[in-house]
Amino acid sequence: MRACAVQAAGVLALSVSSCARLRTPGVDFPADAMMPPPAPREFRGVWVASVANIDWPSRPGLPASAQMAEATALLDRAQSLRLNAVILQVRPAADALYASDLEPWSEYLTGTQGQPPQPLYDPLAFWVAEAHRRGIELHAWFNPFRARHSSARSPLSETHFARRHPDAVLSYGDQLWLDPGNAQAVEQSLAVIADVARRYDVDGVHIDDYFYPYPIEAPDSAGADASKRWLEFPDNASWQAYLASGDKLTRNDWRRDNVNRFVEQLYRTVRSIKPWLKVGISPFGVGRPERRPAGITGFSQYDQIYADVEHWLKQGWLDYLAPQLYWPINQPAQAFGVLYDYWLQQNPQGRHVWPGLFTSQIGIGIGIGIGTAQKNWSADEIIAQIALARSQSSDRGHIHFSMVALAQNRQDIATRLAASTYAEPALVPAAPWLKLAAPPMPQLVASGVRLAEVKFDAGSEVNLLAIWRRYAHEWRFTTQPATQTVIDLSSDAQRGEISAVVVSLVNRAGAEGPRGTLRYDG
């Protein structure tokens, strides 16, 4: 069989006498199409939580080899599911699951805060390299203000921020918190995220829903007035310093302003370091009380953890929002589809809005957050939520919390997702506002028996190859990392011989360049 290269962004002439109707998920195209359809797009993410060893590592104190083996097993599972993004928690509590000069090693790695893994390696660098080798994005997830989690057991390291700047850290309940009203605390969190953005080849930085802490009921609050029900966050020192400056915001507005300025500074800082690096935020899933759809009730993050998420969307201070929609479709007061539609409507800048799914609820009866249904979930619920979200927005995407249910394949959720919901791979949706130049057209060269080599300018921030193979009666889509420039074009027993391969390059902002083609005749 003879191969001929056709370098064209538009038309490819193929000698095909007839073929069946061609389909790809979400796209219809005619049977006589001479070029493949647009590549399928969907953000398929999963959070990998390190706090309390929820997902990784499975317990503290494992040798480095065991930690790496667990990491590769989780990434293999993500790859087998055709997920395209992993969001790895690297800063659970002002600590680090990576080599840092700013914060101590996390106790969730070694059992003792400040103690490095043995033998020494850099977990984040390992995760990045292994994720990219599988064509998966790696986003670094930071808790912005928590300084010590209730699950912590080892003493604070001498290098921990709470030891070095005790006036900027507050005790609330059984946890420690960086004070969002303290300039040193805010500067620390911004410096930590900027340090990772500069030193690691991550694809995104991500913060969760912990700004001011979720409120704790005050002792002996039963029957008390609603205003006295919750234990007050002890930020009086920074509040008094604010009043002394002569500004006039109310205390609640001042707290919201502290968080707003942090989010804005974070976004501007990341943009100045790497223009293509994505910023994601995963807030609580219910919006401001006065804006909620009819029938929606529950916790107000605007009033109690001072997160004005609607304002961040209005200003465009993020690249993707992942509201934690941890309720079933048929729970009226927090209905999944109604809440997702709400967030889609709060998005004048056209940023990505992808729901967080409570996949870890499958088969267990715990609850997270106020208003969460206390019952076992079925795999059917998660699969139905994905289908509903796909029907509500053409900008497809979602994130599973967390990896544990997928790794354990609870109720065959992983098997079912791989077989149907994620039957074909997908590219991460593009972020055109990041303004990274589109990649060039690749050159395809026949190489050996049933191999094609892809050649392109290595300096173009390319991270993926989008590949269409033409068989006798259909196009089939795959991806592979741009570092793997040889494409296997072996025949498929079910589909027959390949008649063409079409390849485009995809850059770090998700933009796809013009297509290059290699045609096989004869």
> How does pLDDT run across 11-26, given as a tens digit for each residue?
332 222 222 222 333 3
Please work out, in degrees rounded to the nearest 5, the angle formed at the alpha carbon of residue 310 by the alpha carbons of 366 and 338: 55
Q: Say if residue 153's pLDDT is above 60.
A: yes
> How does pLDDT run across 242-296, given as a tens digit for each residue?
999 998 999 999 999 999 999 999 999 999 999 999 999 999 999 999 999 999 9
Q: Say if residue 371's pLDDT is above 60.
A: no
What percent of the chain has pLDDT above 90? 81
Q: Say if residue 367's pLDDT is above 60.
A: no
Q: At what angle do helices 251-273 and 236-244 cross, to 10 degrees?
A: 90
Instruction: Identify the structural domains of the chain with CATH numbers, from first to last.
Output: 2-40+436-521 (2.60.40.10), 48-215+257-281 (3.20.20.80), 284-291+305-423 (no CATH)
The reply to whether the predicted model has a pTM over 0.85 is yes
> How does pLDDT run across 284-311, given as a tens digit for each residue?
999 999 999 999 999 999 999 999 999 9
Q: Say if residue 417's pLDDT is above 80.
A: yes
Q: At what angle do helices 123-133 and 64-80 cross, to 10 degrees?
A: 30
Helix segments in 9-86, DSSP class H: 64-80
CA distances from 460 to 46, 103, 196, 441, 456 (A): 28, 33, 22, 11, 8
227 CB contacts (<8 Å, ≥6 apart)?
A: none
CA distances from 290 to 17, 287, 330, 444 (A): 61, 9, 23, 56
The span from the CA of 351 to the CA of 320, in Å, is: 6
The span from the CA of 78 to the CA of 332, in Å, is: 32
